[in-house]
C-alpha cells in the first residue's frame, strides 16, 4: 500500500512551492530592485496588497501616494492607509456597486495626478470584476447578468474578457488616454493561458486587438449581443509611455512545482500544454488515477465553481505534472 499520508504531505509541499514562486510581494520586489525616482502607485486585483508591499519594500517613501483595490478580506486597510494609500473593495467574481465606485475612483485618481507623475500599476487576477466603468446605456443589473452568464458559459478567459471589454469604458486599453502622456510602468501577475497582457485584468492599459465588432465568432445569447454597441468605439492605440512586464505566471508556478517534486525524489514529466475542462470531469479523472501504486497520475489546481449550477462551471487547471510513486 502506498504511504498516503506521506503522499499528501508531498503534494502540499509541491503546491506550496508553486505558490511561493509567484507570490506577489517577492515578485514585485525583485522586479523593482534598483528602480529610481518617485511613483504614484495603483494596485488592482486579488494580489493587490502583496504586490503593493513588494513595491514599498523597494521604494519606501518614494511611493508618494496610491490607490489599492482588491476583494473583500484580501487587504489590511490599516496597514495600507498608514502608508498613505487609499483602499477600496470591489465585487468578485461578479461586479457590484463597489466595482463601479472603484472604477470611478480609479479614473479620478489618475486624472488628478500631477502631469509630471510616474505611475506604477500592479495588476493581478480578479481585476476584471473588481473595477469597472460602464459604457453609456449599460446598467449594473445588465453587467451582473452578463457576468453570471459568462461564468457558466464555458468560454475561454480570452473570449470572456472580449465580451467584458465591449461593455466597458476602461477595459481594452481604456485607461491609456487618461495618462495624457505620463510615463507608466505596469507589472502583471498572469493567471491566464498564454500570458497575453491584453487578457490579464481585461487589458486596462493594453490597446485592444479585438474591438466590439469582433464578437461575431462567439456564440452569445441574443439578449447579450443586444447590449454590445452597434458601432464600436475608437480603439486606443499602443502608447510608447507605457512599459508592461509580467512578473509571475502559471508557467512559473508549474516549473516550481516540478522542481520541488524532483527534489522530493519523484521522476517528473512536465506537460507545458494548458489543460482545461469541466470541474466534474477534472475531479473524476483525478480521483480515478490519483494515488494508485505503479501508475502515473496528473495533478493540478482547479477553479472551484463560483455558484451552484446545473451545468458545472468552467475549470482551469493551472499547472500539471506526472510522476510515479517512488520506490521507498
Which SS3 state, helix, strand or coil, does residue 264 take? coil
The pairing of beta strand 63-71 with beta strand 39-44: parallel
CA 119-48-30 angle, 5° bins? 70
Q: Which of 167, 157, 147 is nearest to 195 (CA)?
A: 157
pLDDT at residue 190 in the model: 96
pLDDT of res. 213: 53
d(CA 111, CA 277): 42
- Tell me which of 147 and 301 has the higher pLDDT: 147
Least confident of 36-50, 178-192, 227-241: 227-241
CB-CB neighbours of 251 under 10 Å: 19
Please give the grid coordinates belonging to residue 314. 468552467
What local confidence, expressed as pLDDT, does residue 113 receive? 97
198-225 pLDDT, tens digit per residue, is 999 999 999 876 555 568 889 999 999 9
The maximal CA–CA distance of the chain, rounded, in angstroms, is 68
Q: Assign 149 a pLDDT band (cuts: 50, 70, 90).
A: very high
pLDDT interval class at 43 (50, 70, 90): very high
Predicted pLDDT of residue 326: 38
Pairing type for strands 184-189 and 242-248 reads: parallel
Q: What interhelical angle do 157-166 and 140-151 show, nearest 10?
A: 170
Higher pLDDT, 280 or 4: 4
Please report the pLDDT score of residue 296 as a whole number: 36
Environment class of residue 73 by beta-carbon count within 10 Å: exposed (0-12), middle (13-18) or buried (19+)? Answer: exposed
Amino acid at each position: 500500500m502506498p504511504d498516503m499520508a506521506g503522499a499528501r504531505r508531498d503534494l502540499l509541499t509541491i503546491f506550496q512551492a508553486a505558490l511561493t514562486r509567484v507570490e506577489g510581494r517577492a515578485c514585485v520586489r525583485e522586479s523593482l530592485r534598483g528602480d529610481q525616482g518617485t511613483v504614484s502607485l495603483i494596485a488592482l486585483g486579488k494580489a493587490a496588497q502583496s504586490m503593493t508591499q513588494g513595491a514599498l519594500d523597494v521604494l519606501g517613501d518614494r511611493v508618494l501616494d496610491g490607490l489599492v483595490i482588491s476583494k473583500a478580506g484580501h487587504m489590511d486597510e490599516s496597514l495600507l492607509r498608514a502608508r498613505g494609500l487609499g483602499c477600496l473593495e470591489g465585487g468578485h467574481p461578479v461586479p457590484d456597486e463597489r466595482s463601479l465606485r472603484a472604477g470611478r475612483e480609479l479614473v479620478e485618481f489618475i486624472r488628478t495626478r500631477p502631469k509630471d507623475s510616474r505611475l506604477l500599476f500592479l495588476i493581478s487576477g480578479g481585476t476584471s470584476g473588481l473595477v469597472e466603468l460602464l459604457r453609456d446605456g449599460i446598467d449594473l443589473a445588465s453587467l451582473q447578468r452578463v457576468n453570471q452568464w459568462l461564468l457558466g458559459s464555458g468560454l475561454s478567459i480570452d473570449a470572456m474578457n472580449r465580451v467584458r471589454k465591449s461593455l466597458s469604458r476602461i477595459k481594452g486599453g481604456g485607461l491609456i488616454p487618461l495618462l495624457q502622456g505620463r510615463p507608466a510602468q505596469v507589472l502583471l501577475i498572469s493567471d491566464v493561458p498564454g500570458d497575453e497582457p491584453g487578457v490579464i485584468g481585461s487589458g486596462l492599459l493594453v490597446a485592444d486587438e479585438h474591438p466590439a465588432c469582433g464578437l461575431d465568432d462567439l456564440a452569445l445569447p441574443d439578449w447579450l449581443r443586444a447590449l454590445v454597441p452597434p458601432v464600436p468605439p475608437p480603439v486606443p492605440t499602443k502608447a510608447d509611455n507605457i512599459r508592461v512586464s509580467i512578473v509571475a505566471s502559471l508557467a512559473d508556478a508549474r516549473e516550481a512545482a516540478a522542481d520541488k517534486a524532483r527534489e522530493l525524489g519523484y521522476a517528473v514529466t512536465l506537460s507545458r500544454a494548458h489543460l482545461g475542462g469541466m470541474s466534474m470531469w477534472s475531479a473524476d479523472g483525478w480521483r480515478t488515477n490519483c494515488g494508485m501504486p505503479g501508475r502515473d497520475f496528473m495533478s493540478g489546481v482547479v477553479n472551484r465553481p463560483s455558484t451552484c449550477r446545473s451545468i458545472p462551471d468552467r475549470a482551469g487547471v493551472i499547472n500539471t505534472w506526472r510522476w510515479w510513486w517512488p520506490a521507498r
